[in-house]
């Protein structure tokens, strides 16, 4: 029997930033170059060429939708976009204070 569980794993924030597609209600955005109006199922950004390895969601999604996306794009790693934003904010603050 298999199911979907959240797992916390340490990731390189720069790698996630460079390979993240963020899915909203109507369309998706490349986090690397902030190109909007991408297809939610895009494998690569048509603007900057970033290969998507990670997917984050602007809103909470249900497990059924997540399973559907995982079947269509099995190579993607789902991340909690709120966790990512918090970590990026901390990283940016450290850079600012180190100057």
Q: What is the mean pLDDT of residues 5-30?
A: 93
Q: What is the mean pLDDT of residues 3-9?
A: 84
pLDDT at residue 24 tops 90? yes
Residue 93 has a pLDDT of 60
pLDDT at residue 39 tops 80? yes
What is the pLDDT confidence band of residue 11, given thresholds at 50, 70 and 90? very high
If one compares 97 and 54, the residue with the highest pLDDT of the two is: 54
Nearest to 54 by CA among 14, 26, 1, 88: 14
Tokens 């993240």 sit at which residue? 20
Residue 1 has a pLDDT of 77
pLDDT, tens digit, 9 for 90 and up, residues 69-78: 999 999 999 9
Residue 73 has a pLDDT of 93
Q: Which residues make Cβ contacts (< 8 Å) with residue 87, sequence separation at least 6?
A: 13
């Amino acid at each position: 029997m298999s199911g979907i569980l959240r797992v916390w794993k340490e990731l390189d924030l720069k790698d996630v930033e460079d390979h993240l597609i963020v899915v909203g209600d109507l369309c998706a955005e490349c986090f690397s170059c902030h190109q909007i109006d991408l297809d939610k199922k895009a494998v690569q950004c048509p603007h900057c060429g970033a290969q998507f390895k990670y997917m984050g969601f602007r809103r909470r999604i249900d497990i059924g939708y997540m399973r559907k996306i995982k079947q269509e794009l099995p190579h993607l790693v789902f991340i909690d976009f709120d966790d990512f934003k918090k970590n990026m904010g901390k990283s940016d603050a450290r850079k600012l204070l180190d100057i």
